[in-house]
Structure 1
Amino acid sequence: MAEEQVGLSAGNVSTISRRGFIVMAGAFAASSGWAASPPAPATIRILSPKGAAIIDPNAVVETIADGIAWAEGPVWVPHQNALLFSDPPANIMRRWSRRGGVSVFLKPSGAAVFDPKLVREAGSNGLALGTDGALLIADSGSRALVRVDLATRRRSILVDRWRGERFSSPNDLHVARSGAIYFTDPPYGFADGDASPLKEVEQNGVYRWTPGGEAVLVDGALTRPNGVALSPDERRLYVSVSDEKAPRIMAYDLDAGGMPRNSRVFLDASTLHGPGLPDGMKVSAGGILFCSAPGGLYLLSPEAEPLALIANGGPIANCAFGEDGRTLFMTANDRVLRVRLKINALHG
């Protein structure tokens, strides 16, 4: 499906993304002994009176984990009272809980065998819980959607191909109430991006997969599809586009079969300033979009009105709601942040 208002080709996008630059800079710092300055204390800026009803501008933003190559894909696991999150370049999935702190949950979290000259992110990326409570992974390294039994940690591949061709590096996913999974497949996992000899699928796509079925292409015209989320009524799909030349968040109106009827630019992020690009996102039960964008994590109304901004001087890649529904977790470059909300984001 062709998107509206945008006409860039994948060949116009630089091979190394801003995230890639950040990861390489961190690797250089570690190898050379140079220590980067710690990030500035996180700030909460209220942009609309509606934002003040969601988050207190004086709320304390805690760091609950640090020393991560690139923190991504957080998901709250209720029956464990724990947060799981990915570190794609380190090929590790970590677990945090109030009682146990931070520990390694899966290593490797993605591909066990890979060529480091060709693969830049071998680990897991976006995480979600399936309708059966199992952990679902957008596995960048294994180039597949993967299911993990949380009790046994046994892995199984759900889908790894579109029309017989392997995906590039699945990045993020959202599970619909029906069990269908929407996911994105940019080339971020490849060292050479679109030019990688490993790339099989021509497009960088947004897909929908249903258990027992095949992946169906939702949109193949986006240059760098990344974060993905559904509105509470599941009639709208949001997809972030981490294209440095045209950063934006797309919105798709869905038909009864979960496929798009039309698309539009929901947020033109080229007007925003600061580190980062549109990346991961979550939608609260009340329809508020918590989304990564240049400058930090924005809270947007369903009409794209900016309500609040959480910033810590660096990129914020993704987020998740957890604990009693009033906690927001954020993966922010080399750390994970936690802040309390005024609303229950999971139950309205």
Structure 2
Amino acid sequence: MRPAPARVGDPVDAIDSPALVVEIDAFERNLAAMDAFARSHGVRLRPHAKTHKCSAIALHQVARGAVGVCVQKVGEALALAAGGVRDVFVSNEVIAPTKLARLAALPSDVQLAIAVDSVVGIERLAAAIQASGRQIDVYVEIDAGQGRCGVPAAEAGALARQVVAHDGLRFAGLQAYHGGAQHLRSVAERETAIRQAVAMATAARAAVTSLSIDCPLVTGAGSGSFLLEAASGVYGEIQPGSYAFMDADYARNAPLPGSPRFEHALFVRSQVIARHAAHAVVDAGHKSHAIDSGLPTVWGRNFEFRNGGDEHGLLHPRGDEPLPAMGDTVWLVPGHCDPTVNLHEHLVAVRGGLDRGVVEAVWPIDARGRLD
């Protein structure tokens, strides 16, 4: 493991580069805003931890009112549980018996839940849980519009009936997350997509209750749409993740009227290592930030960031601002926070701003690389 890029008490200028930095004042304001929103709308908040992959941050979120966290991988669940998180929902399908056995082997004080969308998944989960002697919450996932995992609404009842037929499995409700809606840029596009997701969730719930099976909860929603699900009267739990950090891609969304405003809180600290007549070069390339949602933006400076390859980023001026000098710090806002976090081993939490702040904590990204 790479040594941490900073120590508690270091000034911000002492952080090694490239490094992933959390501006903790903005981060805490983001958490407080989402917690207040969930409370005022009467919905449970279960943040998606695939954004940060960090048990320290998950515990911050739970301390501020979250009921637990979501993850996408069994390995993430194991890492966060080892870090002290006690309520974890694997909001994804897992069918490998070896993975299910590892999940079932978690300590009994960890409240577990998992999504299913097939009889095969239910049967294999039931076998793993029966061997462990524990109980697990099960959510039937419906395809809320993305065309990925999940069954049509009409089939939700039949799968719920399969779940309740097994000892050790408790039917907890419906997973209805529309990931494809999160980055639709216009308000109208997102409203249309979530209106359809709500209709599908409503139909799926009816398919379940028509079989005299109680449907305790519909859960879903992300940072681009959570206001719409919360206002629907159908969803009882929301699962936003990126709100804690906010990335450059989410910043391109038109804000939903009435939604809390979230601040950029995740940055890559880079340093100018070369300077030429028309551009400067920083030490943060593709190994430091994901580019699936576009290149990072430059924070507080009028430069365009251009692709320089694995190890380098190129800064080109957009106006009259002079290029930064050799050794200057340049702060980058990643295009997509989730995979950017997965490239790093530590998050450096800075209190007091990016100009004069001090390192308050260094958080290991304990679920980094947990692809299993």
TM-score by length of 1: 0.30
Higher normalized strand content (fraction of residues): 1
Q: Which has the larger radius of gyration?
A: 2
Structure with the greater relative contact order (CA < 8 A, sep ≥ 6): 1 or 2?
2
